Amino acid sequence: MKIKTVIPEMVMTIFSLVILLGSFTFFAACPVSDEGNIMSCHYAQVMVTALGGLLTVLSLTALLVPDQKVKGGVCIAAAFAAVLTALTPSVLIPLCKMPQMHCRLALQPFTILFAALTAAISIIAAILHLKRKKKS
Amino acid sequence: MMRSVYGLPVRSILKKPLRSAALMIIAAFLAFSAFGGSLMVMSLSNGLESLSARLGADIVVVPYSAASKVSYDSVIIQGKPGQFYMDAKYYEEIKNEIEGIDKITAQFYLASAKASCCSARLQIIGFDPETDFSVQPWIAKSYSTELSEYDAVVGSDVTPNADMTIEIYGKTLHVRAVLEKTGTELDSAMYVNTATMKELILAHNAKNPNQERAIDPEKVVSSVLIKVMDGYDIDSVVGNINLYVRQVKAIRTQNMIFDVADSLSGVSGMISVLMAAVWVLSVIIMAIAFTMMMNERRREFAVLRVLGVSRARIAGFVLTENALVTLVGGVCGIIITVLLTLLFNGLIEQSIGLPFLLPQPSVMLLTALITLLVTMAAGALTSAVSAYKISKIDAGLVLRGENE
């Protein structure tokens, strides 16, 4: 396995790990209030973390599996998962209304940025692998 | 043959993608640090300007207890949620007994528990439309009609219900306008007239029967804002208030803004030093990387010389390749900066806790262009020496391996 050929998968794995870890640390949603009130953004964060985990597994699979066709298929699945991740905060699960809340300032832009980048790289990787498959 | 030499820089970049990408990343880093740093410094200074332009008063008078208990300057200047009250008789006392006052008005502050709009506390600022000279000129840019009872004007970060109402303490307020962004916490504040404010304070009292001391809206004010008459010394008026009116503290607003400006210049200075350090390091790394790459390619250039390419053209080839690499890298760096700044400007504002207002798009575009030119100039500077050396090589010696 040439390092050069798996650079997209390596970048995908790094971005997926960033989504997974960042979603509940630096870029977490609003904290649960002292009275124990859980806002909907909390569930958005849980979903982003879960999707981040899924993306990491898919990226690692694409990185380790030798078959080009399988790699291509896994990358397509990763692209879909990344799009879902980007849509989770606000579109699929509502966030707090006020733009100054931490979920709107941190979780939403962070998820959109990294999920969009992961989706773009997954698509590029899928095209490259399916092309290589055709050639071989 | 000569014609094909013209396309050499582009072909050389495409043929060695990893080498080119490494140089582009350094150029992107240069552009990112320069553009990002400049945007930060400009946004901080914009925030400070909007802050001082908004206040409009020379002196602010707050209850003496507030001066020691709460960060009154952040409540008044930056709109952070908070509340404090003093007896309304001090307002009358200052108005009637202190000389040199041109305009005087009282304000009320109430940090709401939770409103229908927001998951956080909302700062409500009440002003007297008849005497106000601080809030109304600023509101007038978005809403020029006088506010009636239960009317409100809100900061840019407050999202009213679909029917442009907000419910606070069971009262429904009609949002008449949303103000321009200021880059401070005033963006999440709400402005109402005194009559509405009194109703809200009564509703607040009713919702909080256990509070230590119920606020009587007829007998209290939160702060008094003063505009000093021309010809009077502001410091003397401040001194007179502090001397003759008990239980209050008068502060010159300029001093309050100076405090913010001090922290701001500290942050700006730190950013500038970091920016300079990153630049010096990146330029050195770029120069070393470029020199090493050129040395590795001496044989390639020697072949070109043998094929009849002039020394000047070889130097031009080296400079063009570097210009293309820094152009692409610089553009990438600028795009990354714009993306990060637009997505995370709210988080930056909240993290640094200082007024932060991004410059106008036209100013951002101009700064981006200047950054790109400076990055390309830095790139050209680093490659100029290599270009000169390469153009002077002795092709015969290099190809025979005697001048490696």
Average pLDDT, chain B: 81
What are the extents of the domains in chain A?
3-25+39-131
pLDDT at A24 over 80: yes
CA distance, residue A86 to nearest chain B CA (Å): 13
- Count CB pairs under 8 A between chains A and B: 49
Q: Write out pLDDT tens, residues B203-261.
A: 888 877 666 566 777 788 888 889 888 888 888 999 999 888 888 888 887 776 776 77
Name, of A48-57, A98-107, B28-37, the range with top average pLDDT.
A48-57
pLDDT digits (tens, 9 = 90+) for B315-326: 888 888 888 889
Residues of B with CB under 8 A from a CB of A: 18, 117-120, 157-159, 185, 187-188, 339-340, 343-344, 346-347, 350
More confident residue, B289 or A41: A41
Based on the number of CB atoms within 10 Å of its own CB, is B350 exposed (0-12), middle (13-18) or buried (19 or more)?
middle
Strand pairing partners for B167?
B172
pLDDT score for B304: 80
Residues of A in contact with B120 (CB under 8 A): 96, 98, 100-101
Record: contact B120-A104, CB cut-off 8 A: no
pLDDT at residue B171 in the model:
84
Say whether A98 and B159 touch across the interface (CB within 8 A): yes
What sign does the dihedral B9-B13-B15-B16 (CA atoms) show?
positive
Inform me whether the pLDDT recorded for A7 exceeds 80.
yes
A30, A100, A113 ranked by CB distance to B157: nearest: A100
Q: Which residue of A has its CA nearest to B346?
A: A105
Nearest chain B CA: its distance from A105 CA (Å): 5
Handedness of CA B81, B167, B86, B47 (dihedral sign): positive
> Is the pLDDT score of A34 beyond 60?
yes
Query: Which one of A98, A104, A110 has the shortest CB-CB distance to B117?
Result: A98
Write phi, then psi, for B87 (nearest 5 degrees): -60, 135
Subunit contact B159:A97, Cβ cutoff 8 A: yes
The residue-averaged pLDDT of A25-50 equals 85
Q: Which two tokens stand for residue A130?
A: 């399916």
Q: In Å, how far is B158's CA from the nearest CA of chain A?
A: 6
Which residues of A fall within a CB distance of 8 Å from B165?
none
Specify the DSSP element, H or E, that contains B211.
none
> What's the confidence (pLDDT) of residue B12?
79
What lies within 8 Å, CB to CB, of A52 at 6+ separation is: A16, A17, A19, A20, A21, A23, A85
Q: Contact B346/A98, CB-based, under 8 Å?
A: no
Contacts of B185 in chain A (CB under 8 A): 100
**What is the pLDDT, as a whole number, of residue A114?**
94
Question: For residues B353 and B239, which has the higher predicted lDDT (pLDDT)?
Answer: B239
Residue of B nearest to A41 (CA): B119
Higher pLDDT, residue A32 or B93: B93
Residues B184-205, mean pLDDT to the nearest whole number: 83
Q: Which residues of B78-97 are buried (b: 16+ CB within 10 A; e: fewer)?
A: bbbbbbbbbebebbebbeee
CB contact under 8 A, B159 and A101: no
> Chain B partners of A120 at a C-beta cutoff of 8 Å?
none
Q: What are phi and psi of B232, to 5 degrees?
A: -100, 145
Residue A122: pLDDT band (50, 70, 90) is: very high
Q: What is the pLDDT of residue B366?
A: 94
Q: Which two tokens stand for residue B244?
A: 């003759």
Once rounded to an integer, what is the mean pLDDT over residues A100-119?
Answer: 91
User: Residue type for B219, please?
Assistant: K
Closest-CA distance, A39 to chain B, in angstroms, reads: 9
Please say if the pLDDT value at position B284 is more than 60.
Answer: yes
pLDDT band at A83 (very low <50, low <70, confident <90, very high): very high
The reported pLDDT for the residue numbered B210 is 65
Answer yes or no: is pLDDT of B55 > 90: no
Predicted pLDDT of residue A19: 96
Q: What is the mean pLDDT of residues B171-194?
A: 82
Inspect the interface and report whether the beta carbons of B188 and A100 lie closer than 8 Å.
Answer: yes
Instruction: Choose, out of A39, A98, A107, the residue to mutate when testing the contact with B (most B CBs < 10 Å).
Output: A98
Question: Quick one: pLDDT band at residue B275, thresholds 50, 70, 90?
Answer: confident
What residues does each domain of chain B span?
A: 2-50+261-399, 54-252
Q: What is the pLDDT of residue A35?
A: 67
B195: which 2 tokens? 């009559």
Closest chain A residue by Cα to residue B116: A97
Residues of A whose CB is below 8 A from B159: 97-99
Q: Enumerate chain A positions whose Cβ falls within 8 A of a Cβ in B.
A: 4, 30, 39, 96-102, 104-106, 109-110, 112-113
The token pair that represents B386 in the structure block: 């290599």
Element (H, E) at B7: none
Q: What is the mean pLDDT of residues A84-104?
A: 87
Q: Which of A30, A39, A99 sits opposite B157 (nearest CB)?
A: A99
Q: Among the listed ranges A120-124, B73-77, B128-132, B360-364, which one has the minimum average pLDDT value?
A: B73-77
Q: For an interface test with A, which of B335, B347, B352 has the most A Cβ atoms less than 10 Å from its Cβ?
A: B347
Residues paired with residue B152 on neighbouring β-strands, in sequence order: B175
Residue B179 DSSP one-character state: P
Please list the residues that pair with B248 across neighbouring strands.
B63
Work out the average pLDDT over A14-37: 86
Do A101 and B120 count as a contact with CB atoms less than 8 A apart?
A: yes
* pLDDT higher than 90, residue B49: no
Q: Give the residue with greater pLDDT, A61 vs B70.
A: A61
Q: Work out whether strand B189-193 and strand B123-127 pair parallel, antiparallel, or are unpaired.
A: parallel
Contact A30, A42 (CB under 8 A): yes
pLDDT tens for B75-95 read 666 666 677 888 888 888 888
User: Which residues in chain B have Cβ-Cβ distances shorter than 8 Å to A97?
Assistant: 117-119, 159
Where do we find the tokens 């990226």?
A: A59
Q: How far is B118 from chain A (nearest CA, A)?
A: 5
* Interatomic CA distance for residues B241 and B96, integer angstroms: 11
The answer to whether residues B58 and B227 touch, using CB atoms and an 8 Å cutoff, is yes
Percent of chain B with pLDDT strictly greater than 70:
88
Give the residue with greater pLDDT, A67 vs B400: A67
Smallest Cα distance from B342 to chain A, Å: 9
Distances (CA, A) of B395 to A22, B6, B302: 55, 20, 4
Query: A113 vs chain B: nearest CA distance in angstroms?
Result: 8
